[in-house]
Amino acid sequence: MDRDLQRLIDLQALDTRIAGLDREVARLPKEIAAIQASVSEAKAALETAKGRLDTTRKNIRAKEKDLDVSQAKRSRSEARLYEVKTNKEYSAVLIEIEEIKQEKSRLEEEILGLMELGERLAVDIREADAQLKRRESEGQAQEAVVRQKLAAVEAELAGLRAQRGDLARQVPPPLLAEYEKLLKARAGLALAEALPSQICAGCRMAIRPQALLEIRSGNHLLTCENCGRYLYWRE
């Protein structure tokens, strides 16, 4: 086989592997980010539950103050019953006391509802805290595995790039330039196998019989008349 063709075949194999590893290098950090996002989501859920509980407790304290005010108003109104001089005034104070009682009942119901909500939120916080601890533990283990894989991929990629540089220097510059032009134009595949069915494995178009004979001889470089890729025959 022509030495330049063999070098191109070897170069293509390296470039294909490098392209695959480049995709991994681009993908793995996103995987790490997804793991970290999952932990952040669990933290946010916990903080949201804590915030709701804090708000609920503040609302309870505010309602309890309102209840104290209502109780004081009732005490003053009840004291006025002994001061009024007419039936009309007496009836008015009784109505006022009844309204205060209704207000007190409403406030007590609201406080009870807030207390029940607080209890549910306390349960939610415990569950959210447990979920966060699980995600942190799992996330640390998963992230360590992915980072280890990323380091291995980057190390392999560095070695392959060095090999590619050595090999590329052995290819005549004009041929290397044409190869790299095809590599970009043909989705990372500058070479294609000539199949026994007399078609180009790159574009699936037919190869002329005479051209196939020349490709099989491997004595010089030939390209596909359709896609322009360099063709080779695999024994």
pTM for this prediction: 0.75
Say which range, 55-59, 84-88, 228-232, has the weakest mean pLDDT: 84-88
pLDDT, average across residues 194-212? 94
Chain-centroid distance, C-alpha 88: 73
| Res 85: pLDDT | 85
Q: Using CA atoms, how far apart are residues 107 and 62, in angstroms rounded to an integer?
A: 10
Q: How confident is the model at residue 1 (pLDDT cuts 50, 70, 90)?
A: low
Q: Which candidate, 148, 146, 160, 143, places its Cα nearest to that of 21? A: 160
Report CA-CA distances (Å) from 198 to 9, 87, 181, 189, 215: 19, 116, 25, 19, 11
Q: Which tokens belong to 3?
A: 């030495």
CB 192 within 8 A of CB 170: no
Task: Identify the three-state secondary structure at position 48.
Answer: helix
Chain-centroid distance, C-alpha 172: 45
Buried b (16+ CB within 10 A) or exposed e, 37-67: eebeebeebbeebbebbeebeebbeebeebb
Q: Which candidate, 214, 209, 210, 206, places its Cα nearest to that of 232? A: 214
pLDDT, average across residues 2-16? 94
CB 138 within 8 A of CB 34: no
Q: How confident is the model at residue 84 (pLDDT cuts 50, 70, 90)?
A: confident
Q: Using CA atoms, how far apart are residues 17 and 176, in angstroms rounded to an integer?
A: 18
pLDDT (tens digit, 9 = 90+) per residue, 44-68?
999 999 999 999 999 999 999 999 9
pLDDT (tens digit, 9 = 90+) per residue, 173-190?
999 999 999 999 999 999
CB 14 within 8 A of CB 167: yes
Whether 144 shows a pLDDT value over 90: the answer reads yes
pLDDT, average across residues 195-222? 92
- Domains of the chain from N-terminus onward: 17-171 (1.10.287.1490), 172-235 (no CATH)
